[in-house]
Amino acid sequence: MHQVTIETGIMEANDHLAGHNRELYDEYGVYVINLMSAPGAGKTSVLEQTITRIKDDYKLGVIEGDLMTTMDADRMSALGIPAYQITTGTVCHLDARMVHNALHNFDIKGLDLLFIENVGNLVCPAEFNLGEHLKVMVYSVVEGAEKPKKYPVMFHEASVVLLNKIDLIPYAGVSLEELRRNVYSVNPEAMIFPLSCRTGEGFDAWIDWLRTHLNAKIAGKGLVGKS
Ligand SMILES: Nc1nc2c(ncn2[C@@H]2O[C@H](COP(=O)(O)OP(=O)(O)OP(=O)(O)O)[C@@H](O)[C@H]2O)c(=O)[nH]1
Ligand SMILES: [Mg+2]
């Protein structure tokens, strides 16, 4: 009981600060996407492929979250995109305060779109609101078709689920249809895009959707996000 009270306090404090983050994003007119996945599912690869396709049309920035190293931020800088690395030490997710502190050191004014790549973890990042407009989950199909049922939280929280590494389906023996059904069973409204960062297959559909979504936002029509 005592533990529940503490956890509730932590989540309330996080939500409060996330609200401040959201006010800042909205004040600057920056759309913010929180990208989440298990370690190695392909978040940074999806960012590389996505950014390469849209960077001429939108002003982009990236905040990277990792336990250690600036490797992922370096991969973003190599694309010519402003990037800031948060290193969490032992903490398995980003929280609103970490992002809030990062925003003191990383200027988001003038950006159209800020990606936040969360720490690789299939559970915890989904529980901490960062004030983002949209949660996007990357799921590597080689992790298996059953995981949406076993680890439903992130699948449930994400508005978009990118099923990555479909080039490996012939080797992994995973059924894309079963995986899709399992995602819908925990999140019937999920937008699902199967794709491969290795071959580029599936990126057209994801990029078309993202452009439409962003353009509507930029035109001030307002967009739905779960958080
Ligand atoms: N075959 C295949 N490999 C991929 C694909 N996407 C990413 N990879 C590989 O998967 C590995 C992990 O990719 P990353 O993009 O670093 O994954 P991540 O989710 O950012 O990893 P963390 O930030 O460490 O959690 C790398 O070796 C990539 O080359 C894909 O579509 N197909
Ligand atoms: Mg990464």
Domain boundaries along the sequence of the chain: 2-218
Strand partners of residue 33? 115, 134
Cα 191 → chain centroid? 14
Closest CA to 30 of 62, 64, 3: 62
Closest CA to 33 of 20, 16, 17, 50: 50
5 burial level (CB within 10 Å; 0-12, 13-18, 19+): exposed
pLDDT at 224: 45
Secondary structure (H, E, C), 90-120:
CCCCCCHHHHHHHHHHCCCCCCCEEEEECCC
Ligand closest in space to the Cα of 48: 1
Q: What number does the ligand 1 atom closest to the CA of 195 have? A: 31
CA distance 21 to 227: 12
pLDDT at 114: 98
Pocket test for ligand 1, best of 69, 85, 197, 201 (most atoms within 8 A of CB): 197
Tally: H helices and E strands in the chain = 9, 7
All residue ranges of the chain with pLDDT < 50 are 223-227
State whether the beta carbon of 88 lies less than 6 angstroms from ligand 1: no
pLDDT at 225: 45
Q: Which tokens in the block code for residue 154? A: 């992130």
Q: Which amino acid appears at position 151 of this protein?
A: Y
Q: Which fold has domain 2-218?
A: Rossmann fold (3.40.50)
pLDDT at 218: 81
Could you read off the pLDDT of 75-99 as tens digits, one per residue?
A: 999 999 999 999 999 999 999 999 9
Total-model pTM: 0.94
Strand partners of residue 32? 114
State whether the beta carbon of 168 lies less than 6 angstroms from ligand 1: yes
91 burial level (CB within 10 Å; 0-12, 13-18, 19+): middle
Determine the straight-line distance between the first and last CA of the chain, rounded to whole angstroms.
27
Count the Cβ atoms, other than its own, within 10 Å of residue 172: 15
Q: Tokens 């609200």 appear where?
A: 19
In the reported structure, the alpha carbon of residue 41 is separated from the centroid of ligand 1 by a whole-number distance in angstroms of 5
